[in-house]
Chain A
Amino acid sequence: MVGVAALCGVAAVGLVVEMVRNRQPGGLLLDFLGLVAASVLVVTVWGVVRLFGDRGDVPVWEYLGYLLLVPFCIPAGIVWSHGERSRGGTAALLVAVLVVPFLLLRLHDIWAAGT
């Protein structure tokens, strides 16, 4: 989870730079966002798998609710910001990238409280 959060941080810096330059994210940054989205997917699968192990008193539905939101954040941000040529589109994508570490932190807290 920490690694994914770090990747989101790097992507966020790249998006802030593009916002300042008033440019839409392109080529390399979009490829990197694809990598981040793929790593988020891996964490999601891992999060589901560990529910089948020793999960203590973790509230399963609350945990799953947050977990299943995570992989949709970045794709939703890319779709929603697509076609918006102003900084607002890039900022929407930035929000999507920043929501991921927040959700991962919530997941960590829910898991830690239950085990």
Chain B
Amino acid sequence: MSGAPRSPELRTGWGRTLVFVYGVFAVAATARSSYQLLTKASEAPLAYGLSALAAVVYVVATYALATGRRRLAWTAVGVELVGVLVVGAVTLLDRADFPDATVWSGFGAGYGYVPLLLPLAGTWWLWHSSRSPRSGASATSVSSRE
């Protein structure tokens, strides 16, 4: 995807906070899912597989926001929003397939619903930063390897 413009403003202002929160979730979800898959994958394969998927999504979202890759960030945040809504609903309706919780279970209730709020905040930030006056100038002036 070489030649696509970068948007460094994604990690400034409130974006600084958002990237940090995504980073915390990326580290926590990666560590937790790695531990689950390495030690007890057979106990709840679906739940632990979804935990691993969530970890990948958080890592990609953190990377995309921190490096100003707007399109990739939109994709990651979109997948995250769909994931937390679908998994949240399924875990409430069909508890049998989820003997252990994922980060998205119950719409992220185990994490104070931050997993539900985070993609909403990410969507708002991506939309808001694309409308700010400086985003256009910086997006076109910085080259990208994306």
Q: B-contacting residues of A (Cβ < 8 Å)?
A: 61-62, 65, 69, 73, 76-77, 80-81, 84, 86-89, 91-92, 95-96, 99
B39 touches A84 (CB 8 A): no
Q: Is the interface of A mostly helix, strand, loop or mixed?
A: helix
B32: interface (CB < 8 Å): yes
Contacts A61-B39, A80-B19, A95-B20 given; does A69 touch B12 at CB 8 Å = no
**Count of A-B contacts judged by CB separation below 8 Å:** 49
Q: How many residues of B contact A (CB 8 A)?
A: 17
A92 touches B35 (CB 8 A): no
Q: A-contacting residues of B (Cβ < 8 Å)?
A: 12-17, 19-21, 23-24, 27-28, 31-32, 35, 39
Which residue in A61, A76, A80 is a CB contact (below 8 Å) of B16? A80
B24 touches A86 (CB 8 A): no
Q: List 7 A-B pairs, minimum CB-CB distance, nearest first.
A: A91-B17, A92-B20, A88-B16, A88-B13, A88-B14, A84-B16, A92-B17
B20 touches A65 (CB 8 A): no
* B31 contact set on A, CB distance < 8 A: 65, 69
